[in-house]
Structure 1
Amino acid sequence: MKWKTSRRRVAMVATGLLFTGGLVGISAGAASGDTTPTAKLALAGPYGDQFLALYQKIKNPANGYFSPEGVPYHSIETLLVEAPDHGHETTSEAFSYWLYLEAMYGRVTQNWAPFNSAWQTMERYIIPKETQSNYNAADPADYAPEALHPSQYPAVGGKLDPAVKVGADPLAAELQSTYGTSQVYGMHWLLDVDNVYGFGNCGDRTSKPAYINTYQRGPQESVWETVPHPSCETFTFGRQGNGGYIPIFIGDSSYAQQWRYTNAPDADARAVQAAYWALTWAKEQGQQGQIATSVANAAKMGDYLRYSMYDKYFKTPGCTSASCAAGTGKNSSTYLMSWYYAWGGSQGSASGSWSWRIGSSHNHGGYQNPFAAWALSTVPELTPRSATAKTDWATSLTRQIDFYTWLQSADGAIAGGATNSWNGNYSAPPSGTPTFYGMAYDEKPVYHDPPSNQWFGFQAWTMERVAEYYYVTGDARAKALLDKWVTWALANTTVSGSTYQIPSTLRWSGRPGGNWQAGTTSVNNANLRVTVVDRTTDVGVAGAYARTLIFYGAKAAHAQSRTTAKALLDAVMTHSDTKGVAVPETRNDYNRFDDVLSGTGDGLFIPSGYTGTMPNGDQIAPGKTFLDIRSFLKQDPEWSKVQTYLNGGAAPTFNYHRFWAQVDVALALADYDRLIGS
């Protein structure tokens, strides 16, 4: 996230941050407010029936996917630690998946009320309302370097250096002129849906869902090393009355009350992707007018999503020191989808009035979305209203395909990414590091615990977007990427009846074979290699992977992709239960609940001299653990399984029902039904 002191503006983000039965009609469920059955279903066979059956499980209030406010939880289960640290938090990712689910439901039933309801709920709860009337685009934020380990905060990371020149924000005036507001129309990435922590919003202790954040301190900060904190800092918690949580992240003599939000660009882009399909299917039904407002808002979201194209401090690509050139106009844009953009401002007027905006210097292959870039630059209803947005997204489309091509290994998988800020402080990268438009190749961008490039899920997610883009446009460059990627993925996939194995952990070696700049069309990546370390039955990743194979197989007439997609879906659906689909997961990493920091190793780091309390009274101080500042987890119905493990027993096993995973499987079923059939 970002922080501000009373003295100057600072923006400081470190990491951020898966039945058959013929149904005649179906209720949208309480979360959408719609209970009208529909008579006409756009289904062709049993996979469409399975989509509707899984949809009904997801929307059944008794199954617990949605809060009383109608907000989708990250998972049904509460004791879950991964990117969110509690299952009843939610993410912008979940909202974007919900939109896609309702778009498909609208296609099947011609009922678009649930799609509109999902967009309205998203707008109400996870798009912040604060405005920035005092924002100075010529001086968007003060520089604070990142550090490589949480133990270096706030002494090194987050140490303000207002002498470092930052670039100008070229979007603010255009957006203000277009929309007549200084509100940023983008989702914050994380909500405490049930207000489990007890922050509420702006210190009120009770309101929910509540805006929160966790990650803050460099690439080595895993979820197990995070300190959860409110997005609106009023000094009510943490070090009360004297900085709240800010002194854990920023070192200064005094602190100002403030608010700050972080956007996950892949989620906003997925929302645009969902809006495209909703528009396409509603047009086929002659009902596009029913979703016109939601589609217009998707275009608006795409307008602000351009902030993700910019370097964190609006510096020009190719930086190798903090004194590198500050950007002017759009020369600080990479035209890629970076890890985040963020914005914030002062709370109240006691310390004056200020606000800030930043982009991100780190670009991950798994976050790119050429399909959204294509839709935002070619589809009239989704083209943002701002004068330069269409051109920006057209440029981004080409740049993203270039990026994939530069990162594609000899085996076919897509490697990590590139950064414009080596070590998070604009250091010079190691000599000989290949570059993409001046940005250094980064094997594991953004986070290292675990390495961000090792999860096959990023491969499936990002290549599914490429496959959708290829399916709609027939772009030969996209097909070339998919030809190679699909061959590699299929070679590492086994399916036999109800048994299946897909890649899970990846190990990388080598690097791209040259620099990519304007005019480059290829590089020799013979030495950029990937190895599949182990495999998984993760239902969500399997769903996303199957969707990639479906779109590619349908467009390229690739028989093995089609048959493997069918076999995967058949195998996944053997793991159906009353709430969805799930497979057992053994969580060996849950031994980190009580990790105590030793030197600069793993464990929760709290700066020397800092003491504070969580809303429930848990003490925040040096020597405390992840669990110590989340003692409420001990009351979870599933906690005894973890405690047994911490006491020396076997690693616990859970059957998790993640919202995004259920939706990816549901969408794969519907995609197979409509594109390939039985």
Structure 2
Amino acid sequence: MPIRRGSDIGSPARTRSRKKSRRLWTAGAIALSLPLGLTAAAQGNASSPFGDEPELLQYEEQFLTLYETIKDPANGYFSDEGIPYHSVETLIVEAPDHGHQTTSEAYSYLIWLEAQYGQVTGDWQPFNDSWALMEEWMIPSADEQPSNSFYDPSSPATYAPESTDPADYPAQMDPDVPVGEDPLADELSSTYGTDEIYGMHWLQDVDDTYGYGSACGGTAGDPTFINTFQRGPQESTWETVTHPSCDDFSFGGENGYLDLFTGDASYAQQWRYTNAPDADARAVQAAYWANQWASEQGNAAAVAGTVEKAAQMGDYLRYSMYDKYFKEIGDCVGPSECAAGSGKSSNHQLMSWYYAWGGALDTSAGWAWRIGASYAHFGYQNPMAAYVLSTDEALIPQSPSAGEDWGNSLDRMIEFYTWLQSAEGGIAGGATNSWEGDYGTPPAGTPTFYGMYYDEKPVYHDPPSNRWFGMQAWSMQRLAEYYYVSGDERVGPVLDKWADWVVGEVTIGEGGDFQIPAELEWSGAPDTWDPANPGDNAGLHVEVTAHSQDVGVTGSLANALSFYAAASGDTAAQETASGLLDALLANQDAQGIAVPETRGDYSRFGDEVYIPEGWSGTMPNGDVIEPGSTFSSIRSFYQEDENWPQVEAYLNGGDAPTFEYHRFWAQADIAIALATYTQLFGAEE
């Protein structure tokens, strides 16, 4: 799962009650003409794993069964604090480099899962508890972001260039490069009476495996904010140095870990956090549905407090709409030549890959910084969240300009999907306002979108960020959901073409055998965007180069196709969704739904991690960090993992190891899809 978050470089050097009926699930303005009851495929499914009970009713039963499997402490999805792990298994390297880390993504999936549970059972306490858990553990508390009061919105951060080569780091900071003004800070402070940021950091070491828990006055063994990616788009997980989000120089080298990433005359102990906007937006999306479902049950008051907090999160999420250094949007070339933004001229109106904030640990010598991000990936857009944050009275944020900002963002996102759709139907990467992260000059002829440059693989290149099909399923689920709720005719043609392409690439066999796209290759480029006369992108192409049985992505794809089918009446999409759900349910084991995965990429455990000459330090467990260090040499704890012998044998010339992973987000995605299908196509009992 190639989630990864952008660099925060640029700082001045963390017992249920069953419903008695099922009905056609409607929301918003769209009216459905689909018949109630089973699909033709479901009616004729003699090999259904459900026995004699109608399939649609069984999908809801299977939702509850999988929900209980996930929540069973014996199955290992949660820590003692109730935090969802990235995976049950500990030896797993993806964006998190250990299974008992977690991400803001996992928290957002927990919130969504509990919203669906409330819809099915009428019990809203788990939903409220999931938000409270996230607020307690994944939003930095006041003492974890202590110097925000020193932040100067007229000088948000000091510029440091990014590079495509990790060996170019530390990146030298340049205070002479002009940066724009932050137009949100004063509005947010005035609205909420605080300078703190209400957003999730993206990565947490739940079991304190690395040992950073004791830094900055913390408690060893507690869940701890950490970070990894800091050195440009070519830095894969295998080339990172995992470090604490609060760096008091207890570990690492003389300056903690700071001088691995930024070059400065001196270094101060500091905290810094990176937000993953797609996760915060997913939490808002889930809160919308919780409010809708609770209201239908006559119990909106049960979730009102949590929904209000979701609106607040959406207010701060607007930081993801801004250029990294608040420079003007469009034709932005040259660090000094690209104009500093004023007002909202630095707002690209899309959801970028991250926003970040940080400051001094010593509040007697305080300073603080904030940055947006210049890269917008289609996979992170969430038109459903933008829609509800701009139109739903319960979720329009309190800040005076927030509703308008999100309304503008919704329109811009819809244009973005249209601009990036390939001739075949897949959606290409995205755009950037800062070519290669240093406001460089793009190749001649690079297409643009409101002056931002087309980028086939925004943010990271190893592997390319738009190779993984999961980005298609995740993002288009949100677009299909928006289509179902709003009936917006602008997105119908995009979804029609995408769904036709996807359904043609899916195969469903017998006994749980199925295949969905896994990896994509791209060629060509879109036409430069002209909103008055959009091109047909005849020169932009995608090819599916590999298929897989990725169960989490399959759940998300089934969800996307279900919403699209409910909105459009597309029978093939609906039958594909139900067929995929049946195939997933045929792959159950005691801990959930999983299939074997062969991990050839684990050969990279021996990859060298770039460390500058002359730099030396230690990890909390004593592992030495120096030139020549490798991914595994600074993570020796892996050698104690029960699954290490399989990896070790592979590194010694054996076969690539095969595991069955139980990722929390994947199990949640499947469960949510099961409940969604029942809600969309269910019949009265």
Structure-2-length-normalised TM-score: 0.91
Letter aligned with residue 253 of structure 1: A
**Conserved 8 A contact 2:597-2:659:** yes
Q: 2:168 aligns with which of 143, 152, 160?
A: 152
What are the within-5 Å matches in structure 2 for residues 223-262 of structure 1? Answer: 223-239=237-253, 242-262=254-274
**Conserved 8 A contact 2:276-2:355:** yes
Aligned equivalents of 1:201 and 1:212: distance in 2? 12
**Conserved 8 A contact 1:543-1:664:** yes
**Conserved 8 A contact 1:42-1:107:** no
Aligned equivalents of 2:214 and 2:104: distance in 1? 18
Letter aligned with residue 419 of structure 2: W
Q: How far 1:478 sits from its partner (Å)? A: 1.3
Aligned equivalents of 1:664 and 1:370: distance in 2? 19
Please state whether the residue corresponding to 1:382 is helix, strand or coil.
Answer: coil
| Paired position in structure 1 for 2:86 | 74
Please state whether the residue corresponding to 1:418 is helix, strand or coil.
Answer: strand
What are the within-5 Å matches in structure 2 for residues 110-189 of structure 1? Answer: 110-129=122-141, 130-131=145-146, 132-154=148-170, 158-189=171-202
| Paired position in structure 1 for 2:48 | none
Letter aligned with residue 84 of structure 2: P
**Conserved 8 A contact 1:369-1:462:** yes
| Paired position in structure 2 for 1:625 | 630
For the aligned residues, what is the CA RMSD? 1.4
Aligned equivalents of 2:350 and 2:509: distance in 1? 39
Letter aligned with residue 276 of structure 2: A
| Paired position in structure 2 for 1:645 | 650
| Paired position in structure 2 for 1:634 | 639
Q: 1:555 aligns with which of 559, 567, 578?
A: 567
Say whether residues 1:606 and 2:600 are aligned partners: no
Q: 2:17 aligns with which of 38, 43, 68?
A: 38
Aligned equivalents of 1:207 and 1:294: distance in 2? 29
Instruction: Note closer, same or farther for the CA distance 1:448–1:273 as it changes in structure 2 (3 Å cut).
Output: same
Q: 1:615 aligns with which of 595, 616, 620?
A: 620
Letter aligned with residue 246 of structure 2: C
| Paired position in structure 1 for 2:528 | 514
Q: For residues 451-499 of structure 1, what are the alpha-carbon distances to aligned partners after superposition, in whole Å with 9 as ceiling and x for unaligned?
A: 0011100000000000000000111111111000000001111112221
Instruction: Note closer, same or farther for the CA distance 1:231–1:186 as it changes in structure 2 (3 Å cut).
Output: same
Letter aligned with residue 463 of structure 2: P
Aligned equivalents of 1:577 and 1:299: distance in 2? 38
Q: For residues 570-621 of structure 1, what are the alpha-carbon distances to aligned partners after superposition, in whole Å with 9 as ceiling and x for unaligned?
A: 01111101110000000000000012xxxxxxx3101111100000000000
Aligned equivalents of 1:41 and 1:499: distance in 2? 34
Q: For structure 2, which runs of at least 5 residues remain unmatched after alignment?
A: 1-5, 23-55
Aligned equivalents of 2:348 and 2:564: distance in 1? 28
Letter aligned with residue 77 of structure 1: E
**Conserved 8 A contact 1:2-1:344:** no
Say whether residues 1:56 and 2:68 are aligned partners: yes
Aligned equivalents of 1:646 and 1:357: distance in 2? 42
**Conserved 8 A contact 1:593-1:627:** yes
Aligned equivalents of 1:674 and 1:98: distance in 2? 19
| Paired position in structure 2 for 1:659 | 664
Aligned equivalents of 1:521 and 1:659: distance in 2? 43
Q: How far 1:407 sits from its partner (Å)? A: 0.3
**Conserved 8 A contact 2:7-2:232:** no
**Conserved 8 A contact 1:12-1:144:** no
Letter aligned with residue 653 of structure 1: T
Aligned equivalents of 2:196 and 2:417: distance in 1? 33
Instruction: Note closer, same or farther for the CA distance 1:357–1:552 as it changes in structure 2 (3 Å cut).
Output: same
**Conserved 8 A contact 1:444-1:451:** yes
Q: For residues 511-554 of structure 1, what are the alpha-carbon distances to aligned partners after superposition, in whole Å with 9 as ceiling and x for unaligned?
A: 012234xx434123001000000101000000000011100111
Q: How far 1:201 sits from its partner (Å)? A: 5.4
**Conserved 8 A contact 2:16-2:123:** no
Identity of aligned residues (%): 59
Instruction: Note closer, same or farther for the CA distance 1:349–1:668 as it changes in structure 2 (3 Å cut).
Output: closer
| Paired position in structure 2 for 1:467 | 480
Letter aligned with residue 503 of structure 1: P
Letter aligned with residue 570 of structure 1: D
Instruction: Note closer, same or farther for the CA distance 1:582–1:41 as it changes in structure 2 (3 Å cut).
Output: farther
Aligned equivalents of 1:294 and 1:478: distance in 2? 30
| Paired position in structure 2 for 1:10 | 11
Instruction: Note closer, same or farther for the CA distance 1:480–1:198 as it changes in structure 2 (3 Å cut).
Output: same
Q: 1:83 aligns with which of 73, 95, 119?
A: 95
Which structure ranks higher in relative contact order (CA pairs < 8 Å, sequence separation ≥ 6)? 2
Letter aligned with residue 339 of structure 2: A
Say whether residues 1:544 and 2:541 are aligned partners: no
**Conserved 8 A contact 1:79-1:87:** yes
Instruction: Note closer, same or farther for the CA distance 1:12–1:540 as it changes in structure 2 (3 Å cut).
Output: farther
Letter aligned with residue 306 of structure 2: S
Q: How far 1:673 sits from its partner (Å)? A: 1.0
| Paired position in structure 2 for 1:356 | 369
Q: For residues 372-396 of structure 1, what are the alpha-carbon distances to aligned partners after superposition, in whole Å with 9 as ceiling and x for unaligned?
A: 0000000000000000000000000
Say whether residues 1:382 and 2:415 are aligned partners: no
Aligned equivalents of 1:39 and 1:581: distance in 2? 24
Q: For residues 68-115 of structure 1, what are the alpha-carbon distances to aligned partners after superposition, in whole Å with 9 as ceiling and x for unaligned?
A: 001000010000000100000000000000000000000011000000
- How many residues are treated as equivalent by the alignment? 637
Q: For residues 406-464 of structure 1, what are the alpha-carbon distances to aligned partners after superposition, in whole Å with 9 as ceiling and x for unaligned?
A: 00001000000000110110001111101011100001000000000111000000000
Q: For residues 148-180 of structure 1, what are the alpha-carbon distances to aligned partners after superposition, in whole Å with 9 as ceiling and x for unaligned?
A: 1111111xxx21110000000000000000000
Q: How far 1:202 sits from its partner (Å)? A: 3.3
Aligned equivalents of 2:679 and 2:261: distance in 1? 50
What are the within-5 Å matches in structure 2 for residues 283-322 of structure 1? Answer: 283-318=295-330, 319-322=332-335
**Conserved 8 A contact 2:166-2:235:** yes
Say whether residues 1:209 and 2:198 are aligned partners: no
**Conserved 8 A contact 2:324-2:373:** yes
Aligned equivalents of 1:677 and 1:108: distance in 2? 12
Instruction: Note closer, same or farther for the CA distance 1:552–1:314 as it changes in structure 2 (3 Å cut).
Output: same
**Conserved 8 A contact 2:389-2:397:** yes
Please state whether the residue corresponding to 1:424 is helix, strand or coil.
Answer: coil
| Paired position in structure 1 for 2:544 | 532
Please state whether the residue corresponding to 1:216 is helix, strand or coil.
Answer: coil
